[in-house]
Structures are given as structure tokens and as C-alpha cells.
Structure 1
Amino acid sequence: MRSPAAGAAGSDFPDALPSPTSPAATPSHSSPGRHYYLAVDRTQFKMRTLLELLGVVADRRGGLPIAICVSSRDELDAVCAAVANLPFVSMSPLYSDQAEAERASILEKFRQETIQWNQTSKVTDISESSKPESTDTKLSIIVATDACLPLSAMAEAPLMARVLINYELPTKKEAYLRRMSTCLAADGIVINMVVGGEVAILKALEENSGLVIAEMPIHSHKETASCQVMLLWNAVAYMRSATSCHTNKEICTFCGLDNVYCHHVSQLEKE
């Protein structure tokens, strides 16, 4: 699954999670290095990987505004049912049959939480700090299908989330770009969760849209959901690039544990 160049790619990531920036300093949505895809080995690992990712992000930067996009109502229901059980998440779904007042309330609440996060967060160098400045604030998450995204024709403003997770990959570039424009802040990042043959669809989206969608570097040969989350840790938490978790077997039990954290991650945090 992993190319020889993938390991080197990890060193190119910045050192901090998305942080508040002035409008003048924000790059365009298509700026290189802001779009990633995560190849999940099996469909049954996909939900587990998402939940572990959210746990990692919550531990590093509480309150981060995140948008999760899916393509179908069935997947929306499945994601909402799973995410709703996480104690560190404040989640709101957008349904096509929602009352107008309820929809407006959800959108406004998420935007206010985004504004609050921008005003209160400070740039934190994760590689030099074992803990973020605050972990007691729940992640603010909104889950939506393409049919339920904010509509400019209805005078609905973009969500301006810091992270957009495409849990289901859109098959057309128009849908991909619309998710970006309606959900993502200009300096946010996109994570595309890809299973099996969807890599070909992703590459077609990349070519048709002119975007650069990089593969997240993975530092393990064992294809487990936890190893996938180590990959996500490198890109989303923006830690220093980790060496292979098999390099120092006497202190690393990551691949032998069904856990997001391993001795190797702990060692990185202490450096």
C-alpha cells in the first residue's frame, strides 16, 4: 500500500494543528499540502478509524470545528450513531427533512463555535508540548450529506470548519469542490477516507480539479485500524514525522496493541 516515498513525505508536514490566522494570511483552498487521502484496507475498519482519529484530535486540540461529509442518508445515520457515543464530541447532524428553524439553529451554533475557537485558540507546537492548552472542550462536529450542505441561494454562510473529513468520497469534482467551499475554512485541511478501488476515483478527482491530494504517510506494514490512526496522527496532529514503529521493537508495542497510543508515540511526546 505504501510507496518508498511515503515515509519521507511525513517530514514535510507543519508542526501544529490548524490555528487561527488572519484572512489576509489564509491560502486558497487548493494550496498544496492541504488535501490528503487515507487508504483504509477494509471497509469494516473505516468507522473504527474515524472514531480513533476523533479521539486523537480531541486529546490534542479540544474544541476543533470539524465537518464530516457523507454521500447517503444511511451513512449519515451510521456515522451519527457511532460519533454520538463519544463523550468528547458535540455533534449535530443535518438532515434533508429537518425543520427550517432547527437547521438554522444548527448552522448558527456551529459557526459560533468556530468563531469562538478562532478567538480563543493559540498556536501550539505539538512537537514541543506533551499536552495542548485545553482538552476539556468537546470537538464541535457537524455531519451532512451533499444534499444538506449550506446553500448560498438561501443566504446560508459557509461553515468554515478547520477540518473536513470526506467519510464517503464524492465521485464528481463538482461535489468535492462544493464540500470544500461550503464547509472548509481557507486554511483548513481535507481528509479523504478511501477504501479499495476508490483510489482510482480519487486520482480522477485530483486530475479533473487540479488539486494535489497527497497520500498520508504510514509507518507500519501491519494494516490495522490503529496503524491507520498513527498515520492520521502524523498528518492531522502535525507531529514530527515518526520513524517506523518497528524500528525499536524493545520499546514499541504499538502494533501489538489494540490502542491508538503506543510506547513509540509516548516517546515522541517526551522528546
Structure 2
Amino acid sequence: MDSMEAPSPPFQSPSRSSQQLHFYLAVDRPQFKMETVVELLGVLGRRPWLPIVVCCSSRDELDAVCSSLSTLPYISLAALYSDLADRERTMVIEKFRQATINWNQQLNSVVEEGLEESETRKEENKSHLVVVTDVCLPLLSSGESSLSARVLINYELPTKKETYTRRITTCLASGSFFQKQTLFCSSNNVI
């Protein structure tokens, strides 16, 4: 497995500097992709409340990813797909946004007060993961807001630059005080 890092220009905020990092993980065989994603989430998912989005190009990919990740005990998993009722979609998005708020509060507590991880129920401490197809990404042009994840994993790279850009703008938080990462796991060529 090859790994390349390409940092984007840093964003300067009044109190903290932030840098968006992009990683590409080249997986030489398709059967190793899922194993690689599970290993990544084995590391990332152990951070309490970490909001993570995995983007898939098709419903079949989404189902496979959800099936493989559903047994991870430290991750709260939800899926956004085209057959999901509007009410359920809204609940998934709101729960994920609440996880983002919890993540921000946790970071503020640790940074400002030097506190250790707060003692709350285990379910609340889980990282929150939404697996989504491109069709179901929020539409910023119609007033929906970004998912505001801290980590975006592209399970399969999209074939169009526009789709890739839409994934980043609708999934990642803007103006973050801390690092945002985009992780790629693909067996095909870069856009």
C-alpha cells in the first residue's frame, strides 16, 4: 500500500491555524480496499465523537461498506441513500450534526481548560460515521447545510472533478480550527 500526502495551503484563524490534509492510499487489489478502510477506521474511529463521512459512488458500494463496518464497536454508523424516507434522512443528518457539535465542544474543553476526556455514556463517546452515495449528498444550492465532518473517506474516487469537489464542499467542515483530512482508498487512477 502506497501513501502520499499533499497538504493544502493553511487557513489562519484568530486563535488557531488549520491545515487541510489530503492523503491517497493506493490499494493494489480491490479485495484489500475494505480491509484498508476498516484499518483506517480502527485508528480514527477510536477518537470520541469524531464525525466521519465515507462517500460511495453506488448503492452496492454503500451496502458493502455498511455491512463491513457495522460490527465496529466504537463507531455509530448510519447510511444516507436514495430509498431513505425524508424523515429518516433528516434524523440521520441531525444526529450527525449533533456529533459534530459534541466534537467541537470536546476540543474546546481540552484546548481551553486542559481537561481529560469527559465521562459520559459509551454510546455518546462513539465516533459518528455516515456512509453516503453521491446522489444523497446535501444540496448546498437548495439551502441544505454541509455535513461538517472532520474526516472524509472516498471509498472510490469519482470519475468527474465536479463530483469530487461536491463531496469535499458538502462533507467537510469549513473554517475548522483543527486539521481536516481527506483519505482516498482506490484501486483505480486519480482524476
**TM superposition score category, shorter chain reference:** 0.7 to 0.9
> 1:114 deviation in Å?
0.3
Q: Letter of the aligned partner of 2:75 in structure 1?
A: V
Task: Work out the number of aligned pairs and report it.
Answer: 173
- Aligned equivalents of 2:14, 2:166: Cα separation in 1: 20
Asked if 1:55 corresponds to 2:47, the answer is no
Checking the alignment, whether the CA contact within 8 Å between 2:106 and 2:117 is kept in structure 1 is no
One of 131, 137, 153 as aligned partner of 1:149: 137
One of 65, 73, 82 as aligned partner of 2:68: 82
Alignment-derived partner of residue 166 in structure 1: 154
Q: Report the secondary structure of 2:61's partner residue.
A: helix
In structure 2, stretches of 5+ residues that fail to align are: none
> 1:83 deviation in Å?
0.8
* TM-score of the pair, normalised by structure 2: 0.80
Cα-to-partner distance string for 1:195-245 (whole Å, 9 max, x where unaligned): 1xx23xx1xx3xxxxxxxxxxxxxxxxxxxxxxxxxxxxxxxxxxxxxxxx
Alignment-derived partner of residue 193 in structure 1: 185
Cα gap change, 1:23 to 1:153, in 2 (>3 Å): farther
Q: Report the secondary structure of 1:69's partner residue.
A: strand
Q: Report the secondary structure of 2:173's partner residue.
A: strand
Q: Report the secondary structure of 2:42's partner residue.
A: helix
Amino-acid identity (%): 52
Alignment-derived partner of residue 39 in structure 1: 26
* TM-score of the pair, normalised by structure 1: 0.57
User: Which structure's residues are more often strand, by fraction?
Assistant: 2
Structure 1: 4+ residue segments shifted above 3 A: 21-27, 132-136
Alignment-derived partner of residue 81 in structure 2: 95
- Aligned equivalents of 2:35, 2:82: Cα separation in 1: 26
Cα-to-partner distance string for 1:112-144 (whole Å, 9 max, x where unaligned): 110111111235xxxxxxxx8479521100010
Cα gap change, 1:26 to 1:110, in 2 (>3 Å): farther
Larger Cα Rg: Structure 1 or Structure 2?
A: 1
> 1:183 deviation in Å?
0.2
Asked if 1:69 corresponds to 2:73, the answer is no
